[in-house]
Amino acid sequence: MARHRRSIKDTRGESSLFRVRALVGFLLILMGLCALVARYYYLQVQRHDEFALRSDNNRVKPRAIPPARGLIYDRNGVLLADNVPAFRLEVVPEQVPDMKAMLSAIRDVVPLGEDDIETFRKQLKQNRRFDSVPLKLHLTEDEIARFAINRWRFPGVDVVPYLTRRYPFGPLFAHVVGYVGRIDADDLNRLDADRYKGTSHVGRSGLERSYEDVLHGEPGYELVEVNADGRVQRVLETHPPVPGKNLYLSIDARVQKAATEAFDGRPGSAVAIDPRNGQVLAMVSVPSFDPNLFVNGISKADYAAYMNAEDKPLLNRALKSAYPPGSTVKPFLALGGLELGIRRPEDTVLSTGEFCIPGQQRCYRDDTRGGDGTVNMVRAIEKSTNTYFYKLALDMGIDRLASWMGGLGFGRKTGIDLLGEAEGILPSREWKAARSKYPWFQGETIIAGIGQGYWNVTSLQLAHAIATFAGHGVPYAPRLVMATSAVKERPVPLPNPPAGPSLIRKPNDWNVVNQGMEAVVTGGTGKRVFIGFPYVVAGKSGTAERFSRRSNDYDTNKNTAYLAARHRAWFMAYTPVDAPRIAVVAMLEAGAWGADDAGPIVRKVMEAWIVATGGSVPPRATPETAPGPASSVPDVPEDTPVATPADLSAMPADSASTATPEDGGNP
Amino acid sequence: MIDALQVRLQRVLRRMMTRPRIDLPLAFGLLLLAGVGLATLYSASGGSMTMIVGQAGRFVMGGALLLLISRIPPSVLRSWTPWLYAGSVALLLVVATLGEVRSGSKRWLDLGVLSFQPSELLKLTMPMMVAWYLHPRQLPPSWKDIVAVGLLIAIPAGLIAEQPDLGTALLVSAAGAFALFLSGMAWWKIGSLLAAVGAMVPVAWHFLHEYQRNRVRTLLDPESDPLGNGWHIIQSQIAVGSGGMFGRGWQHGTQSRLDFLPEHTTDFIFAVFSEEFGLVGVAALMLLYAFIIGRCLWIAMEARDTYSRLLAGAIGMSFFVYVFVNGGMVAGMLPVVGVPMPLVSYGGTSAVSLLTGFGVLMSIHANRKVHD
């Protein structure tokens, strides 16, 4: 081709050049298509006999074998999630002459719910006509027998065995282990189709979901011979699947049971953590639900009952419900005061019953009318003296407070091996700036010092924080699964290294705060709860208000039911004090007083743990009559000016009578 | 008012009759092809009306787009070209950062209502951009222009190959390269460029994903892996070979009905076609494709300016790449890459984007050179 050397575009020359190129291009394309046809000639004519024979012999095809799902055990090998053989009804649409007639006729043999039919119809649309579609899962013996007799009436319908999931403990582990559910259209888009060939269920909540990859395993396949209609004649070769790995929880089923029973049906949650490694020893959310109902598709009526229940049984309170922590933040704040060099242990504060910001009208109250007198740090923790912590929070300032408490894990996820954790709220300038047009007010710092105001904390976060403290400041992410094991192999522990260096730099700071919390149990709010307990316990109660106070008057209504409707009760504790091995938090959504209502739950969890670890618990020295009947008025009225340590047991743990977040700091 | 409207309507109708904006032979070829596609799909899907209706719906949507775009004159398309190109490359970048991962590759953009693959847009905007670039230049292109066009091709093609989607990357770069070829690039330059590309093959091998390398390996020896990658190739060849000269007849192919043939409604639908209609059917379909491509090139020759010429020619020629790559894959000549058989394979985006491309051709045809 001649090279054109012109400075102006030559449209005519270009056009003819293009013409040549287009013709050459078309010739090349024709050659390409001819080459393709030649290849097809080679396959379809020259090698036709060979391929026709192979096609006729093509009776062998691979079929996926779903892997058995890993089992779930507690720390002692008690089975929490099991696979049991079951039977389901399957339909090959192509072989059903009249789908409508079949569906109405089969209902007389095997009862079908509207849900079954609806799911079946949906899957029918997605599948090809010769793929079998499950019609009803988990047939009863009776249904199988009745179908067997009537089988001849239903061509294309068959009973097929499969493995289904069973949770022997039912509601006890529902919030921890979770449940599996049938794979639906959404799952199909999300999951790797090759790994889930032949699998009917997938983890939907709890550990079943967060450990789905570990539990699922790898599918195998078998080579099956089929007849001209595609029906399987025999199995030629089997490549077995690799079953999913088993999980070993750090939870002890006995402790879990004791914790659940301690609630006696009252809504709340409890979490027990081993401070030495972050292992969760119990995690309870009351009320619970039966996970077995979800496995083969929950009926609409059952689901509606759960969804409409006022106490929300499907909600994992330990993980997702965040409430103001009340006075339980005080020991952590005290530790911050020491570590940040704002307080020495011996520094004292005079509690007069009222704390006013210098130069402002607004005042914040102590629980005790008239105050607790002069208190140092240990005494302030023991008596939960609000004034001490108002002043400490004020001296610390909200920025240092937020940063210190944030370091303990408040306001963010703890990193537990469950999905859907709530973050709670850590009061800070940034948090408020993102949500309000008002700046941060000093009053908000003050009430943050006693765990009121914007504060919101989950039981898990508080348990994580107290376990971190009990472990001398070394933070571990809470872990429910402590080991996994492949089939027929020994369990392999999952490592859980500390999430960071110790938060406590001076060992004596720990001693001071620990001493304060010990005093809570020996002489403070927790005294009555732990009488006769074999180990030395340290703890702190919290009673957070559910509603804002409308007036600044002391509430004189002492009716427990009335108070329970207004308060949330917290209690956190760890034991043994010299080398803590268990830290427990209990929260009652409607508890009158932290120590008296949530405290006994903590004690019962600890007792169950002692028994589970081979110790023994002496019988209760004092029967639990201390709180008295619901209507009884505590023997010492709340407003007694000076309370002796003995009387403190009857005192409200705190119930900070402060201004509310809404009006607390705003002008 | 009504009268005026009626008069206008009549005028429009008359104009459409006397000087149709669409090229009837090309439209006829496409309709025939779509019919063959639906019939094959009916058989391959085992009579699934949901799939048939879905595919027919996409053809209708694509046809509407075709008619719409045929109303836009090429000069307007040309003025939009840089923006369309930049926009589609930007979408590719968006996908690379926050696209939705489906079965291991990141090609989808979820818009809430519908999700689509931005790489599909490049199949059209790429030849548009190359034609736009070469339009004002002096042709045949100099080395400088060739390098510039090379960059225009390489950037999006690299992004698509990275997703990873080699099939689309191949189609997109082929569309650009054809425009360059048609612009009259000197033969010796083409030769040296091809030699350079050939030398790059070992380097490219290094950058392929392991699964892609396996597909090439099993192509060379499919029997070595009869259950994994080789399964596709062997079963597809059995389907094709057992078809023979005249085929087993519509809806009588056992390979797909008994589920031996994987992907038998999408990438491997041509194997079903070959099994059921035999070599005669294959040759007839190839003739139909050749007719469509030839008609495209004829429209290109009749086009008014360089931009229209190059664009029409490149769209027509890249249609061939679909046919060749898919047909070769089904017959075990080429490795398994995700390139559909145009207008026969089941699947939304490719049908719609192909018909959109033919809309551009119709527009070029409507604004062809006026012969004296």
pLDDT digits (tens, 9 = 90+) for A428-448: 999 898 888 888 888 889 889
Q: Which helix (H) or strand (E) holds A509?
A: helix A507-522
- Alpha-carbon distance of A610 to B324, in angstroms, equals 75
Q: What is the mean pLDDT of chain A?
A: 82
pLDDT higher than 50, residue A535: yes
H-state helical runs in chain B: 2-18, 24-44, 49-70, 74-98, 118-134, 143-161, 166-182, 187-207, 210-220, 229-243, 254-257, 269-301, 306-330, 348-366
How far apart are the C-alpha atoms of A179 and A72, rounded to whole Å?
11
CA distance A299 to B204: 55
Instruction: Look at residue A319 and tell me whether its pLDDT is greater than 90.
Output: yes
Residue B11 lies in a domain: no
Residues from chain B that touch A58, judged by Cβ atoms under 8 A, are 235, 238, 254-255, 258, 260
Tell me which residue in A3, A33, A228 faces B286 most closely, judged by beta carbons. Answer: A33
Q: Which pLDDT does position A101 carry in this prediction? A: 85
Mean pLDDT, range A449-465, rounded to an integer: 92
Question: The whole model's pTM is what?
Answer: 0.62
Paired sense of beta strands A246-249 and A242-243, if any: unpaired
Contact indicator for B107, B163 with CB cutoff of 8 Å:
yes
**Axis crossing angle, helix B166-182 with helix A11-41, rounded to the nearest 10:** 140
Give me the pLDDT at residue B16, please.
59
B35 against A627, higher pLDDT: B35
Phi/psi at B163 (5° precision): -65, -40
Q: What is the mean pLDDT of residues A492-501?
A: 89
Is residue B14 assigned to a domain? no
CA distance A44 to chain B (A): 4
Q: Return contacts of B193-202, CB within 8 angstroms, 24+ apart.
A: B193/B146
Question: Is the residue at B41 inside a domain?
Answer: yes
The CATH number of the structural domain formed by A64-227+241-249 is: 3.90.1310.10
- What's the CA gap between A104 and B285, in Å, rounded? 46
CA gap B137, B132 in Å, rounded: 9
Q: Which two tokens stand for residue A169?
A: 């403990």
Predicted local distance difference test score (pLDDT) of residue A563? 67
Q: Do A129 and B47 touch (CB under 8 A)?
A: yes
**Contact pairs from chain A to chain B, CB under 8 Å:** 165
Residue B228's domain comprises 22-366
Do A11 and B302 touch, CB atoms closer than 8 A? no
- How many angstroms separate the CA of residue B3 from the nearest CA in chain A? 46
| A401 contacts A336 by C-beta, under 8 angstroms | yes
Higher-confidence residue: A68 or B251? Answer: A68
- Between CA A480 and CA A482 the distance in angstroms is 6
Query: Is it true that the peptide bond before A634 is cis, omega within 30 degrees of 0?
Result: no
**pLDDT (tens digit per residue) in A69-90:** 999 999 998 999 999 888 888 8
Q: Which residues pair with A136 in a beta bridge?
A: A89
Distances (CA, A) of A79 to A101, A283, B51: 44, 17, 46
Start and end residues for every CATH 3.40.710.10 domain found in chain A: 253-485+492-664
Q: Give the rounded percent of residues in chain A with a pLDDT score beyond 90.
A: 38
CA distance A85 to chain B (A): 28
Query: Are the beta carbons of A22 and B297 separated by less than 8 Å?
Result: yes
Residue predicted with more confidence, A627 or B96: B96
Length, in residues, of chain B: 372
Residues carrying CATH 3.90.1310.10, chain A: 64-227+241-249
Q: Is the pLDDT of residue A322 over 50?
A: yes
Tokens representing residue B101 in the block: 């991962």
Determine the angle formed by the axes of helices B74-98 and B348-366, rounding to 10 degrees: 160
Q: Counting every residue, how long is chain A?
A: 667
Q: Which of A10, A30, A33 to mutate to test the interface with B (most CBs of B within 10 A)?
A: A33
pLDDT of residue A662: 36
Closest-CA residue in chain A for B275? A44
Burial of A145 (0-12, 13-18, 19+ CB in 10 A): exposed
Task: Say if residue A3's pLDDT is above 50.
Answer: no
Q: Is the pLDDT of residue A643 over 50?
A: no
pLDDT at A208: 94
Higher per-residue pLDDT: A335 or B8: A335
User: Residue-wise pLDDT tens for chain B (372 aa)?
Assistant: 678 888 887 876 676 555 557 888 999 999 999 999 999 999 888 777 888 888 999 899 999 989 888 888 899 999 999 999 999 999 888 888 776 665 555 666 666 555 677 888 899 999 999 999 999 888 788 889 999 999 999 999 988 887 778 888 888 999 999 999 999 888 888 898 889 888 888 887 877 777 777 777 777 766 665 555 677 788 888 889 888 899 888 888 777 766 677 778 888 899 999 999 999 999 999 999 999 999 999 999 999 889 999 999 999 999 999 999 999 999 988 888 778 899 998 876 788 889 999 999 999 998 887 754
As a whole number of angstroms, the distance between CA A328 and CA A570 comes to: 7
* A230·B293 Cβ contact <8 A: no
Report the domain count for chain B: 1
pLDDT of residue B15: 65
CB spacing of B139 vs A221 below 8 angstroms: no
Q: Which residues pair with A224 in a beta bridge?
A: A61, A235
Residues on chain B touching A1 (C-beta within 8 angstroms):
140, 184, 186-187
Residues A177 and A167: their CA atoms lie apart, in Å, by 9
Q: Give residue A338's pLDDT.
A: 92
Helix (H, G, I), strand (E, B) or coil at B236: helix
B241 touches chain A (CB under 8 A): yes
* Residue B351 counted as domain residue: yes
As given in the structure block, the two tokens for residue A406 are 């944030």
- Asked if A129 contacts A93 with a C-beta cutoff of 8 angstroms, the reply is yes
- Whether residue A256 is predicted with pLDDT greater than 50 in this model: the reply is yes
**Helix H or strand E segment including A268:** strand A268-273
- Do the beta carbons of residue B162 and residue A9 sit within 8 Å? no
Judge whether B9 lies within some domain. no
Which pLDDT score, from 0 to 100, does residue A647 have? 31
Q: What letter would DSSP give residue A42?
A: I
In angstroms, the CA B47 to CA A568 distance is 62
Give tens-digit pLDDT for A95-132.
777 888 888 888 888 888 777 787 788 777 666 555 67
Q: Please report the pLDDT score of residue A392 as a whole number.
A: 92
Residue predicted with more confidence, A412 or A547: A412
Spell out the residues 6+ positions from residue A260 whose beta carbon is closer than 8 angstroms to its own: A172, A284, A286, A288
CATH ID of A253-485+492-664, from 3.40.710.10, 2.120.10.30, 2.60.40.1730, 3.40.50.410: 3.40.710.10
The stretch A225-244 carries a mean pLDDT of 76
| Residue B3 belongs to a domain | no
Q: Give the pLDDT score at B118.
A: 82
